[in-house]
Amino acid sequence: MAKGEVRLESSFELLSQDEWDAYLSVDYFDKLRIDQDALRVSEGGLPNLQYPRLAEMIKEHNNKVGALATTYALCRHYFDKGIPDDPWCVSPGSHGSSMQYMPLFQQEHWGRQFWFGYFSEVYYLKMFSIWDSVIQILNHYYGLNYKSDFRLRSRVMNWLKANSTKVFCLLNEIADTGVHKEAKRFRNAAAHDVSPNAVSKTVKCERGKFEYYDGMDQHGRMIKKWDILERISLERGDYTNVATIMENMGDYAMLLGITIEGVVCELTLKT
């Protein structure tokens, strides 16, 4: 292996049992889980025929929460090992460059940063999958039977707005919070762009009408012209440090858990 090269497979680490116990014991995910008994998914040991798939759907939902907690533990492992990404960019750099990324990194930090980014992407994709399972549960619980496609969320939310105002407000209010907006940005980056803790957008391309100089006239004056051009510039880019992501993971899990708890309470009152 060349000097300075990082082999990702050799930087992957398994957690100790003490770490698993500590990280899985946090209370961030408790309220995300749904108690089957609270929604009367069975009667006398048999499935409640009014909601025949509810027990299965709640089990699948709770399995997602378990996977989320496991992914959180993996992120915490690499975070606690140390990823010194603050500052993530300095100018000028220490070796004469105009900019230097991750000036405090040693060789071992690159692998930790990669694995943290990988598991944090999984975390946010799984978190918003939990959102989807809540919508699917409501679709079944209220007997709406909307097709499970990209329009399901809007259809269920529109029905709730007209027919179950309290549940609608619980789900809608969370969307206006800064914690949700930040989590959604991380999820969208994971699904459609690059990991939020990867430096990106360092090259900026602008197309527009720009002024430029085209030689000199006979009197020695600069000739100004305007034209439609594409201007390319180098910038320091975007980056979100791991501490910000780690904090949002816990905050958003707690916030969504409170929302789900409120929704289940409303459904319990209905039964």
Distance CA 216, CA 220 (A): 5
Strands 203-216 and 222-234, bridge-based pairing: antiparallel
Contact assessment for residue 260 and residue 31, using Cβ atoms and an 8 Å cutoff: yes
Query: Other CB atoms closer than 10 Å to residue 247's CB: what's the count?
Result: 12
pLDDT in 10s for each residue of the chain, 271 residues: 445 566 788 889 999 999 999 999 999 999 999 998 887 776 555 567 777 888 889 999 999 999 999 999 999 999 999 999 999 999 888 877 888 999 999 999 999 999 999 999 999 999 999 999 999 999 999 999 999 999 999 999 999 999 999 999 999 999 999 999 999 999 999 999 988 899 998 888 776 666 666 667 667 677 676 566 577 777 889 999 999 999 999 999 999 999 999 999 998 876 5
Residue 234's pLDDT is: 79
Q: Which pLDDT belongs to residue 157?
A: 97
Taking the alpha carbons of 11, 13, 19, 20 in that order, is the dihedral positive or negative?
positive
Domain ranges of the chain: 10-197+240-270, 203-236
Q: Which candidate, 145, 208, 135, places its Cα nearest to that of 170?
A: 135
